[in-house]
């Protein structure tokens, strides 16, 4: 049975995680080159299913790719692709692949959406914009864990744990879900759901498009996909932009724990904003008082949950609202209603939030700790280190019980052309700045890093930094990249 807070968390997960990761693989389990899969039938473009007027000019196609790149002649799966033709001269730059990050829905409309969001004309004229639903998601062989009423696979997949017993209870729930993943009709995909597999699919699409090299703009998890592609296929890269950068190990347990660090680094932005508006919201006249209000409300809802919200849901609400300054007014109004004893409208309790595709990839990309006791210790440690969100970010994932062994992680490296630009906020609740610094070090001379002195998640075209927008646009449109790492105020 779902709790009051479950209903709100399911709705919030759709917001927070819909925003919205040259060399060789580290081990032999990474798929071999996809060059042998390039002999595919040509892409046949036609109308896009269900996009309608929301994606003017976008055309769609599908492409059969190997389920297992170690056996390219074996079983195939179908990948959905979309394209928006560039409006410049025929001799344009080629193809700009797009990836929006960690969603669990079809993103075939992204080329039109990014144009509507303000993609500069000088970029728009240079490229055909291409995206695809990664395997396991949307219209590309979507996976399922056959979730039942009351079950959820949000990201992060576990609530704020009030004690070690709560970790054990969540472990029992996730163990059951992992068994369902292994017995579902899509279980055959389990061994083939790594980011390396997705990168090979992207290279197969490149070959089907007839392009020798591609450019790329990937956000959040898409930054890791771009780094993996650039590592496995350096000879096929042109201009690569990685935005809101996941660390070089991808969305593994280290990334999950760092969500708590990201919240601690980002929350002061909201606290200052709310303190300046104390007369409107009454949450505290100083940032310290606003922070104290957070713990007061969380504690109150832990002890006395109402029909729509409990303490873990309140913490998740705050976490998800830190992804953009535009969410601050709604968050402050919600806090004010709770302070005054009001309630928060809950989502439909029958709704099941299912990020099965992203969970499959996270569990397939790297080894995760298997012992429940490990997560219990980590929760207690991070509750002390990062009291706002640590006991959620450190909590257990279904990866602890994953039925399929993970791939050997791709070791992100610096061999290849110097054609990568990283851009990240210094205070990002979804991909902490630490990960961007580590990715920059892993890519070495191939990359430059632009740090934006601001907070939120997703930089380019968000309206948060004209400086960062100028740098990214100049790189994509003209190949002008900073000679050294940069900071934008």
- Judged against a pLDDT cut of 80, whether residue 427 lies above it is answered with yes
- Judged against a pLDDT cut of 50, whether residue 27 lies above it is answered with no
pLDDT in tens, 12-25: 554 444 434 323 23
Cα dist. 221→293, 431, 442 in Å? Answer: 32, 9, 17
- Report the mean per-residue pLDDT for the chain: 90
- What pLDDT shows up at residue 114? 96
- What pLDDT shows up at residue 307? 79
Lowest-pLDDT range of 38-42, 195-199, 241-245, 254-258: 38-42
Cα–Cα–Cα angle for 208, 446, 464, rounded to 5 degrees: 85
CB atoms within 10 A of CB 168: 15
pTM of the model: 0.92
pLDDT in tens, 382-409: 999 999 999 999 999 999 999 999 999 9
CB 276 within 8 A of CB 336: no
Distance linking the first and last C-alpha atoms of the chain? 48
Give the DSSP per-residue string, 28-96.
Answer: TTS---GGGG---PPP--BPPTTTGGGSTT-EEEEEEEES-TTSTTS-EEEEEEEEE--SS-SS--EEE
pLDDT in tens, 67-105: 999 999 999 999 999 999 998 765 488 999 999 998 888
Residue 444's nearest CA partner among 416, 468, 425 is: 416
User: Structurally, what CATH architecture does the domain formed by 22-142+190-253+409-488 represent?
Assistant: 3-Layer(aba) Sandwich (3.40)
Portion of the chain with pLDDT greater than 70, in percent: 89
- What pLDDT shows up at residue 306? 83
pLDDT in tens, 319-370: 999 999 999 999 999 999 999 987 776 554 334 567 999 999 999 999 999 9
- What pLDDT shows up at residue 117? 95
Residue 198 host element (H or E):
helix 195-209
Residue 337's nearest CA partner among 88, 8, 90 is: 8
- What pLDDT shows up at residue 12? 53
- What pLDDT shows up at residue 7? 52
Determine the distance from the C-alpha atom of residue 18 to the mean position of all C-alpha atoms in its chain, rounded to a whole number: 7
Separation CA 12–CA 460 (nearest Å): 23
CB 87 within 8 A of CB 112: no
Largest CA distance in the chain: 67
Residue 131 phi, psi dihedral angles, 5° rounding: -140, 170
């Amino acid at each position: 049975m779902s709790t009051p807070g479950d209903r709100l968390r399911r709705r919030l997960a759709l917001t927070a995680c819909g925003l919205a990761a040259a060399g060789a693989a580290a081990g032999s389990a990474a798929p071999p080159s996809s060059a042998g899969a390039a002999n595919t039938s040509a892409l046949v473009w036609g109308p896009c299913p269900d996009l309608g007027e929301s994606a003017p000019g976008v055309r769609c196609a599908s492409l059969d790719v190997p389920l297992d790149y170690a056996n390219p002649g074996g079983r195939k799966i179908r990948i959905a692709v979309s394209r928006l033709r560039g409006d410049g001269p025929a001799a344009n730059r080629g193809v700009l692949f797009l990836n929006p990050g960690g969603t669990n829905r079809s993103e075939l409309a992204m080329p039109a959406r990014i144009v509507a969001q303000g993609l500069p004309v000088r970029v728009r004229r240079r490229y055909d914009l291409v995206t695809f639903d990664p395997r396991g998601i949307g219209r590309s062989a979507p996976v399922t864990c056959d979730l039942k009423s009351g079950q959820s696979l949000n990201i992060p997949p576990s609530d704020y744990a009030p004690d070690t017993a709560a970790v054990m209870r969540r472990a029992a729930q996730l163990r059951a879900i992992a068994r369902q993943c292994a017995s579902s009709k899509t279980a055959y995909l389990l061994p083939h759901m790594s980011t390396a597999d997705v990168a090979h699919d992207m290279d197969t699409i490149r070959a089907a498009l007839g392009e020798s090299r591609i450019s790329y703009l990937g956000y959040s998890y898409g930054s890791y996909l771009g780094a993996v592609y650039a590592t496995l296929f350096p000879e096929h890269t042109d201009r690569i932009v990685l935005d809101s950068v996941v660390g070089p190990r991808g969305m593994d347990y280290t990334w999950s724990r760092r969500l708590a660090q990201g919240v601690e680094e980002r929350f002061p932005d909201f606290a200052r904003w709310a303190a300046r508006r104390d007369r409107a919201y009454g949450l505290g006249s100083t940032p310290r008082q606003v922070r104290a209000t957070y713990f007061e409300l969380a504690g109150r809802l832990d002890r006395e949950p109402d029909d729509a919200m409990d303490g873990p849901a309140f913490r998740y609400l705050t976490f998800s609202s830190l992804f953009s300054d535009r969410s601050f007014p709604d968050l402050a109004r919600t806090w004010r209603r709770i302070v005054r004893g009001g309630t928060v409208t809950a989502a439909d309790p029958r709704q099941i939030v299912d990020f099965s595709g992203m969970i499959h990839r996270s569990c397939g990309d790297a080894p995760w700790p298997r012992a429940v006791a490990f997560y219990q210790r980590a929760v207690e440690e991070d509750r002390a280190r990062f009291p706002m969100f640590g006991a959620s970010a450190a909590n257990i994932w279904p990866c602890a019980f994953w039925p399929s062994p993970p791939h050997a992680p791709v070791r992100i490296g610096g061999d290849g052309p110097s054609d990568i630009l990283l851009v990240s906020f210094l205070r990002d609740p979804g991909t902490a700045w630490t990960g961007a610094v580590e990715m920059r070090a892993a890519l070495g001379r191939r990359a430059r890093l632009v740090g934006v002195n601001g907070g939120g998640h997703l930089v380019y075209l968000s309206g948060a930094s004209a400086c960062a927008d100028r740098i990214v646009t100049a790189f994509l449109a003209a190949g002008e990249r900073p000679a050294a790492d940069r900071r934008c105020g």
